[in-house]
């Protein structure tokens, strides 16, 4: 299975990546790259998935994003995450990705940047949120589209191809 990630610009990537590494190290959880998942559950053959990803990237421009608040769920991959605004260009990229990949029967699109995967008790999540405050609320650009093989757990995820928007 493949997933499309929108990748943050260099400055946002470095800042978010540092946070992910620090928190995953201190909480013994998986490390991963900061990203906004644009579309998941892609089951096309690899060659077709790459071709469609390139078509999508050629049809999109860099996407503006703003980290607006921190939330958590009782889900491994949404243990702690920053919500992002639903900018017009982001929502257009999502709609276009669904059209190109003929993939619309999935859960609602909730744009976000996860920064901790795992299963932590609520009090720990709340403490992390309190420590972070609004230090990571920022505007940035999502300037490339990455195709990632996302089977199993993060340590097995495989970078396939990346295209500039």
Please tell me what DSSP assigns to residue 30: -
Predicted confidence (pLDDT) at residue 24 exceeds the cutoff of 80: yes
What pTM was estimated for this model as a whole?
A: 0.94
To the nearest whole number, what is the mean pLDDT of the chain?
94
Predicted confidence (pLDDT) at residue 28 exceeds the cutoff of 70: yes
Give the three-state DSSP class for 101.
Answer: coil
Question: Would you place residue 116 in the very low, low, confident or very high pLDDT band (cuts 50, 70, 90)?
Answer: very high
- 2-164 under CATH 3.40.50.300, yes or no: no
Predicted confidence (pLDDT) at residue 148 exceeds the cutoff of 90: yes
Contacts of 53 (CB under 8 A, 6+ apart): 4, 145, 147, 161, 163
24 — phi, psi (to 5°)? Answer: -65, -35
Q: Copy the structure tokens of residue 19.
A: 């946070």
Paired with 70 in beta bridges are 82
Give the three-state DSSP class for 118.
Answer: coil
Contacts of 38 (CB under 8 A, 6+ apart): 4, 5, 6, 93, 94, 97, 145
Question: Would you place residue 105 in the very low, low, confident or very high pLDDT band (cuts 50, 70, 90)?
Answer: low
Q: Where are the alpha helices (DSSP H) in the chain?
A: 10-27, 46-59, 88-100, 122-132
Cβ neighbour number for residue 27 with a 10 Å cutoff: 16
Question: Would you place residue 108 in the very low, low, confident or very high pLDDT band (cuts 50, 70, 90)?
Answer: confident
């Amino acid at each position: 299975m493949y997933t499309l990630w929108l990748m943050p610009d260099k400055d946002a990537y470095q800042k978010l990546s540092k946070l992910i590494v620090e928190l995953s190290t201190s909480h013994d959880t998986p490390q991963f790259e900061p990203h906004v998942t644009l579309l998941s559950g892609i089951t096309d053959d690899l060659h077709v998935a790459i071709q469609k990803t390139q078509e999508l990237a050629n049809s999109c421009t860099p996407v503006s994003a703003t980290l607006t608040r921190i939330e958590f769920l009782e889900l491994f991959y949404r243990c702690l995450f920053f919500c992002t605004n639903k900018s017009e260009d982001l929502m257009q990229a999502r709609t276009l990705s669904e059209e190109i990949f003929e993939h619309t029967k999935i859960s609602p699109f909730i744009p976000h940047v996860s920064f901790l995967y795992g299963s932590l008790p609520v009090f720990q999540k709340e403490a992390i949120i309190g420590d972070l405050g609004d230090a990571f609320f920022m505007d940035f650009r999502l300037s490339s589209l990455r195709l990632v093989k996302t089977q199993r757990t993060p340590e097995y995820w495989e970078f396939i191809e990346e295209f500039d928007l």
